[in-house]
Amino acid sequence: MQKAATRLRPNSLKKELSFLMRPRKSFGRVPCEKINAMHIQELQAGMKHDGCKATYNNLVLGATRRVLRFAKTWRRIRDDVTRLSERDNKPVARVLQADEKKRLFAVARSNPNWTTVYAAALIAASTSARAADLRSLRWSDIDLFEKVMMIPDSKSEAGKRRIPLNSDAMLACGILLDRATKLGIAGSECYVFAACEHSRVDGTRPQKTWRTAWRNITRAAGLRGLRFHDLRHQCITELLEGGAPEAAVLSIAGHVSRKMMEHYSHIRMEAKRKALEGLSPVVTGTEPITKSIGPHLN
């Protein structure tokens, strides 16, 4: 990162270097081409934990982004990284309530122009796959008979994984396969999410982004600001709330550091309360609690 920073304009170098102190400390000697969205999210979470304001957090992100753009590595992670809101204290991750999730997918499937993004969202919410994971998928990576999807371009060697497909994910794959078959791009080496430019679909190249369609869907669903990456948070959180073993969640989600596991497992208060209320009571008497503990309150 230091090498890239020195190529900036001299009058902005001093300011940029001050903003790059945090990422240099956080990333260590990790080369630019190895930095991924998880690194950036850990950087943001770390600054937020240390009490840094969202404005400063975003300035650091901006400096980091400029270095990665210079190194030509920003594009592959940009859809999985977002600035913090400077108007409120919204968390980096957002998890939908059941009615919000139902509304989101009802809206997504209501418009034929959103079919591809609807299918991508179904798979992401069912497998914890990132947008970059999905865009790199080829049909050879999906086994519809075994109901398994392989993530080919992982964040790290440990992140390469085979993920079982549930009914929602299988529905999405069926929608995509039907579309690909009609367009003649269902070959094993064709991309599942094929590029489309000027109304021409090219199965030999992956789709670059679905940002505009996703923004339209979330706006129509009354969920403005929801990121596609939040569906990964949604999946992991629901797995944890449902009692899935942490080892199984880590196996499904791929590369998740222990520090980020705490961030991902922001189990909602209702789930925590329900879990605690399921414990067997120790005190079974009918005497009022306040009377029982009263002498200790003085």
Domain 98-270 matching CATH 3.30.420.40: the answer reads: no
Distance CA 12, CA 14 (A): 6
Contact 56, 47 (CB under 8 A): yes
Confidence (pLDDT) at 4: 47
Distance CA 95, CA 188 (A): 35
Reading the chain (298 residues) residue by residue, the pLDDT tens digits are 455 444 555 556 777 788 888 888 888 888 888 888 888 988 988 888 788 888 889 999 988 998 898 889 898 888 888 888 876 554 456 889 999 999 999 999 999 999 999 999 999 999 999 998 999 999 999 999 999 999 865 555 545 689 999 999 999 999 999 999 999 999 999 999 999 887 889 999 999 889 999 999 999 999 988 999 999 989 988 888 888 887 888 888 887 666 666 665 555 566 666 777 778 777 765 555 444 444 444 4
In the chain, domain spans:
2-80, 98-270
**Biggest alpha carbon–alpha carbon distance for the chain:** 79
Confidence (pLDDT) at 296: 46
Confidence (pLDDT) at 297: 40
In this structure, which topology does domain 2-80 adopt according to CATH? DNA polymerase; domain 1 (1.10.150)
What is the DSSP secondary structure assignment for residue 191, as one 8-state letter?
B
Pairing of strands 194-197, 161-164: unpaired
Q: Which two tokens stand for residue 183?
A: 């367009």
Distance CA 199, CA 59 (A): 38
Decide whether 2-80 matches 98-270 in CATH topology.
Answer: no
What is the DSSP secondary structure assignment for residue 162, as one 8-state letter?
E
Distance CA 160, CA 150 (A): 8
What is the DSSP secondary structure assignment for residue 143, as one 8-state letter?
E
Across the chain, where does the E strand assignment appear?
A: 142-143, 148-151, 161-164, 194-197, 200-206
